[in-house]
Amino acid sequence: MRYAMLLTSCLLLAAMATPVQADDTDFRPIFDGKTLDGWDGNPDFWRVEDGAIVGQTTAENPTKGNTFLIWRDGEPGDFELKVEFKLVNGNSGIQVRSFEKPDEWGKWVVGGYQPDIEDSGRFMGIMYGERYRGILAMRGDKTVIGKDSKPQIVGKVGDSQELLENIDLNGWNEYHIIARDWTISQKINGHTMAEVTDHDEANRRADGLIAFQLHAGPPMKVLFRNVRLKELDGDQAAADSADKKRVVFVAGTASHGYGGHEHKAGLLLLAQLLEESGLPVETAVHVNGWPDDPDAFEGADTIVIFANGGGGHPILPHLEQVEPLMNQGVGLACLHYAVEVPKDRAGQQFLDWIGGYFETHWSVNPWWTARFEQLPTHPITRGVEPFALYDEWYYHMRFRPDMEGVTPLLTAVPPDSTRERPDGPHSNNPTVRERRGEAEHVAWAYERPDGGRGFGFTGGHWHWAWADDDYRTFVLNAVAWTAGLEVPEAGMPSSAPTYEELLENQDYPKPDDFTEQRAWATFAPR
């Protein structure tokens, strides 16, 4: 056992010291390994040595400000860049889609997006904006930069410390930077470190310079080798994007206290699981209500809304924006309270878009254990076994006449006690009371005549329920299905989030008396 552990450790160190060479098809070298032809920088600091570009400052030869070695043979827009690097000490970075202001900044100085290189590990792998809005994403973060130029964390690409463990701070590593449309992702040794999507229209960059940085300050040394570039023309970039289904999530604002209606945390989790599935899907998560960006739904294959509904539903002021998307076949999935809209404002549209909705004075919202003992054959039920779960399962939805195009997916018989509440807009009504003992549909799929797909799901109050494999797989399948993705026979692959992972991104601080056992108890059948 001790020998095996030692062998594993040695293999890991060897892998970190010599980056694995992935398929380099269509990449071309932009450094010849011998000279700095095609590159431009202060010769006092840059040289070629043993097949590598070397940048170095000393106590006797310092740089007064950050200085850069700039590639002069192009300003690529959509591209992939692979660079092996070794930092002896100090702080460096790789500039992409960058720019110069020589009259203001002087010679050999650039600003722009910078995948960072740094010797303490604190900033290694982050995305920095050199002379350009500051830190854009810390290691492990997936961010979106809004029109206010401020990055907002919308998801995670990994744990910061675990990602750092895949980097040899004293040896050679490989950066792989992918810039496509307005998103830049960066990997080190095959592990995604950060991803930034830039919606800051006034400042974002579609193309620009590639450069290497020498940082001002204490003496430092950095080396670069095997510098390879693959430029993606418009057709290729569009083809790459077209191969993936794009899911746009809309998370509502905070409500209902800790662990309940966790719109942001829930959708960030679903997006992360979809991205990690290995299937051709890409996601965007907009938090705190409807996105201001008019291009937020560009290229969307489906829209998923998890938010408070009724008269405050975030879709209501934007029905005219959504209708043409629905007419184009874009999917729509609504989770929990988001299935409720006012009858006289969006009711008919929801019947046309997702096949049903919560109608006040008709539908009800009791708490009960729904036992789903039989599941129909449908792509959304693939890999899902019969299950039972306690939740605020709304029922008695208003569906299309004769259930035309609607397939009930989760059906159970509510306890009679749920029909005994006093009448009210959500609590009860004579029709519900007369249906004692009858089965009710709490999740459904809808196929529109034009080919578009809709999905309604009335569960979803407790954030902790995402740990239930069948519940989670069912919703992931539904999102994929509404996007037009082929759902695997075993269902969408995902790992159950841990308690610690479920604590992330919540709207409210955890109460001192809240425990893991209490979390699991919230959705346990009773």
| Model confidence pLDDT, tens digit, residues 284-340 | 999 999 998 888 999 999 999 999 999 999 999 999 999 999 999 999 999 999 999
Please state, for a pLDDT cut of 70, what percent of the chain lies above it.
94
Give residue 293's pLDDT. 85
Residue type, 510: K
> Is the model's pLDDT at 478 over the cut of 80?
yes
Cα–Cα distance, 182 to 207 (Å, whole number): 10
Cα–Cα distance, 494 to 279 (Å, whole number): 11
Give residue 84's pLDDT. 97
Answer for the pair 100, 209: CB distance below 8 angstroms, yes or no.
Answer: yes
Enumerate the H helices of 165-262 as residue ranges: 234-242
> Is the model's pLDDT at 427 over the cut of 90?
yes
Please state, for a pLDDT cut of 90, what percent of the chain lies above it.
84
Go through 297-311 and write b for each residue having 16 or more CB atoms within 10 A of its CB, e for each that does not.
bebbbbbbbbbbbee
Weakest-pLDDT range from 35-39, 240-244, 287-291: 240-244
Confidence of residue 236 (pLDDT cuts 50, 70, 90): low
- DSSP H or E segment with residue 350: helix 348-353
**Can you point out the beta strands (E) in 51-182?**
52-57, 67-71, 79-89, 91-100, 110-118, 127-130, 134-137, 141-145, 151-156, 173-180
> Is the model's pLDDT at 239 over the cut of 60?
no
This prediction has a pTM of 0.63
Weakest-pLDDT range from 112-116, 150-154, 259-263: 150-154
Cα–Cα distance, 327 to 448 (Å, whole number): 10
Mean pLDDT across the stretch 128-155? 89
Residue 346's Cα: distance from chain center in Å? 29
Confidence of residue 242 (pLDDT cuts 50, 70, 90): low
25-236 — its CATH code?
A: 2.60.120.560
Confidence of residue 244 (pLDDT cuts 50, 70, 90): confident
Mean pLDDT rounded to a whole number for the chain = 92
Cα–Cα distance, 122 to 100 (Å, whole number): 28
Give residue 21's pLDDT. 44
Give residue 7's pLDDT. 38
- The DSSP bridge pattern shows strands 331-335 and 453-457 to be parallel
> Is the model's pLDDT at 22 over the cut of 50?
no
Residue 492's Cα: distance from chain center in Å? 16
The domain segmentation of the chain, as residue ranges, is: 25-236, 244-523
The CB density around residue 233, as the number of other CB atoms within 10 Å, is 11
120 burial class (0-12, 13-18, 19+ CB within 10 angstroms)?
exposed
Answer for the pair 48, 36: CB distance below 8 angstroms, yes or no.
Answer: yes
Give residue 275's pLDDT. 87
Mean pLDDT across the stretch 48-52? 96
Phi first, then psi, for residue 43 (nearest 5°) are -65, -10
> Is the model's pLDDT at 207 over the cut of 80?
yes
User: In CATH, which superfamily holds the domain spanning 244-523?
Assistant: Class I glutamine amidotransferase (GATase) domain (3.40.50.880)
pLDDT tens for 166-200 read 999 999 999 999 998 889 999 999 999 999 988 88
Give residue 15's pLDDT. 41
Cα–Cα distance, 228 to 241 (Å, whole number): 22
One fold for both 25-236 and 244-523? no
String of DSSP letters for 380-426: GGTT---EEEEE---BS-EE-GGGTTEEEEEEE---GGGG-SPPBTT
- The DSSP bridge pattern shows strands 398-399 and 406-412 to be unpaired
Weakest-pLDDT range from 243-257, 347-361, 425-439: 243-257
